[in-house]
């Protein structure tokens, strides 16, 4: 694409020494990813290191620069293109979408935002849509995938350049629907600027990422950006689904109403278009009812946990609104056999099926409380919780999670999560400040492997063990190094070791 095409499309770009016929291939904000013919975009916060990044980008073959307005960089070679704009993050997304051929205009992107539930909902949607014969892609925390292609993205929501290339690739492969996790980081940092959404789901808003968001209001407004983007989307028949009774639901409703949106908004809750009630929780299934206009619909799913009731309900609402012509019983039947979602209420049984261990990504106070509430409703002889908190992250939640774990568990083992550059024992100490004075059944075992092994040895017949915090992650970050570590693998190893020990004792 020629420079003149970019100028005509984005007249806000101030141009310097422009050869309007020069060819532009793509745009990148990471100088390491630059290929011959690309533009390099500089974010304002990297001005102090601009010389290093720009030099590297030009060495790799960049044909020009997109710089923050008012920032000047002297170039010896006058052949380079130079653009300036007020918000380089925003225009990174807009330009990346444009240069990639605006794939999101041709894809139906179903985006999910909220503190908890994003990964579960996108995976459920991916499975249901695939089972209905649709060609589907998925982009989120664990991976991006479509068909037989699976690859890691590095972020829940990839950067603008990576995201648009993924979408372009999916479109070329015949994908029609894309289930996407819209993180608050991705929304606030402009990674989703330029994306045309077809649908948006809001799950909840509870304290998290407050090391990144200065206030809960900023966190809420970042999530709200998804519905602003939905307003600007070129798609017709757009839809938003908002969980009204969940934390932050009424606040999101107020913001969306002020927007006077040009899309259909469906609210789930007591005062919403749909409401629901949980019928039964077991270690085999979850059953619930959805109500609309005094008509009830029972749904049974193999996915477990009280929180999955809401996740499943939001998926159901979106699907029946998108496909009003589809027999609802066809959708409902698929809820009974949803594949295990990695690290989300992932159930592991002991070889003799007498003990249960559950791996879950719950790493916020609200998420931990939700899963423990669900587990308390399932009959068991003992509920043990093993968890820690990540280092170099929001410290305020540590004592809160310590108190919540003790409130709902029979025994708590506090351990290390991803300590990063913090001292693991210091993190554990901060968690322990939240333990009630009258709660005595807790242990502190810094080594996560040893903590899991200890918990499984203690776990009695009919007991439930929750390993929370890391979920699908197959690594542990200690210092600046990443080591292989999987809670699921550790559970299976500990169960097998315990079985061998019991066999030896029997002999």
Distances (CA, A) of 382 to 401, 404, 408, 434: 19, 16, 11, 22
Q: How far apart are the first and last CA of the chain?
A: 75
Q: What is the pLDDT of residues 193-246, one digit of tens each?
A: 999 999 999 999 987 666 677 898 999 999 999 999 999 999 999 999 999 999
Q: Give the 3-state secondary structure of 75-139.
A: CCCCCCEEEEECCHHHHHHHHHHHHCCCHHHCCEEEEEECCCCHHHHHHHHHHHHHHCCCCEEEE
| pLDDT number for residue 210 | 67
| pLDDT number for residue 425 | 97
| pLDDT number for residue 506 | 44
Q: What is the pLDDT of residues 141-195, one digit of tens each?
A: 888 999 999 988 777 788 999 999 999 999 999 999 999 999 998 999 999 999 9
What phi and psi, each to the nearest 5 degrees, are found at residue 222?
A: -65, -45
Which three-class secondary structure state does DSSP give residue 300? strand
- Rg (alpha carbons) of the chain, rounded to whole number: 25
- H/E stretch holding 28: strand 27-28
CA 481 to chain centre: 23
CB atoms within 10 A of CB 322: 17
Residue given tokens 């242990």 in the structure block: 443
What phi and psi, each to the nearest 5 degrees, are found at residue 485?
A: -160, 125
What are the mean pLDDT values of the chain's consecutive 10-residue runs (507 residues total)? 95 87 96 97 91 94 94 80 94 98 98 94 97 96 91 83 96 98 92 97 84 84 96 97 96 96 97 95 88 95 89 97 92 93 88 91 91 89 97 93 98 97 97 97 98 96 96 94 96 92 53
Domains with residue ranges and CATH for the chain: 3-98 (3.40.1390.10), 101-337 (3.40.1190.10), 346-506 (3.90.190.20)
Which three-class secondary structure state does DSSP give residue 183? coil
User: What torsion, rounded to 10 degrees, do the Cα atoms 471, 477, 478, 482 define?
Assistant: 130
CA angle, residues 124, 372, 185, in degrees to nearest 5:
55
CA pair distance 182, 174, nearest whole angstrom? 23
| pLDDT number for residue 374 | 87
| pLDDT number for residue 503 | 53
- H/E stretch holding 455: helix 448-458
Q: Which two tokens stand for residue 403?
A: 């108190």
């Amino acid at each position: 694409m020629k420079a003149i095409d970019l100028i005509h499309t984005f007249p806000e770009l101030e141009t310097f020494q422009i050869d309007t016929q020069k060819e532009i291939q793509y745009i990148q904000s990471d100088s390491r990813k630059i290929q011959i013919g690309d533009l390099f975009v500089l974010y304002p916060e990297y001005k102090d290191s601009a010389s290093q990044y720009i030099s590297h980008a030009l060495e790799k073959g960049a044909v020009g620069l997109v710089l923050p307005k008012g920032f000047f960089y002297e170039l010896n070679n006058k052949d380079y293109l130079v653009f300036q704009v007020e918000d380089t993050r925003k225009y990174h997304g807009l330009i990346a979408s444009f240069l990639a051929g605006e794939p999101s205009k041709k894809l139906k992107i179903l985006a999910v935002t909220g503190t908890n539930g994003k990964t579960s909902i996108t995976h459920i949607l991916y499975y249901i849509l695939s089972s209905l014969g649709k060609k589907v892609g998925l982009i989120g925390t664990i991976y991006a995938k479509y068909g037989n292609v699976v690859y890691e993205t590095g972020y829940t929501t990839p950067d603008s350049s990576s995201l648009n290339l993924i979408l372009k690739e999916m479109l070329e492969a015949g994908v029609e629907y894309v289930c996407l996790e819209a993180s608050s980081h991705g929304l606030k940092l402009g990674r989703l600027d330029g994306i045309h959404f077809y649908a948006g789901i809001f799950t909840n808003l509870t304290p998290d990422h407050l090391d990144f968001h200065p206030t809960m209001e900023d966190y809420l407004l970042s999530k709200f950006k998804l519905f602003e983007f939905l307003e600007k989307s070129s798609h017709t028949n757009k839809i938003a689904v908002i969980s009204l009774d969940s934390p932050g639901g009424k606040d999101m409703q107020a913001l969306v109403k002020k927007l006077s949106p040009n899309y259909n908004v469906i609210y789930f809750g007591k005062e919403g278009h749909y409401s629901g009630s949980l019928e039964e929780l077991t270690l085999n299934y979850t059953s619930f009812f959805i109500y609309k206009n005094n008509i009830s619909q029972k749904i049974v799913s193999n996915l477990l946990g009280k929180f999955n009731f809401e996740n499943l309900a939001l998926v159901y609402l979106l699907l029946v609104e998108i496909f009003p012509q589809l027999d609802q019983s066809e959708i409902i039947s698929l809820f009974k056999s949803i594949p295990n979602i990695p690290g989300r209420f992932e159930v592991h049984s002991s070889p003799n099926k007498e003990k249960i261990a559950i791996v879950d990504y719950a790493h916020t106070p609200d998420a931990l409380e939700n899963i423990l509430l669900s587990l308390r409703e399932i009959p068991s002889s003992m509920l043990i919780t093993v968890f820690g908190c990540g280092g170099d992250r929001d410290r305020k939640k540590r004592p809160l999670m310590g108190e919540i774990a003790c409130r709902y568990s029979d025994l708590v083992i506090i351990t290390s999560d991803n300590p990063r550059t913090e001292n693991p024992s210091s993190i554990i100490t901060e968690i322990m400040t939240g333990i009630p004075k009258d709660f005595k059944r807790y242990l502190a075992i810094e080594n996560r492997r040893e903590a899991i092994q200890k918990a499984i040895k203690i776990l009695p017949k009919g007991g439930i063990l929750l390993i929370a915090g890391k979920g699908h992650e197959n690594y542990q970050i200690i210092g600046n190094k990443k080591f292989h570590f999987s809670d699921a693998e550790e559970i299976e190893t500990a169960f097998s070791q315990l079985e061998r020990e019991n066999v030896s004792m029997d002999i």
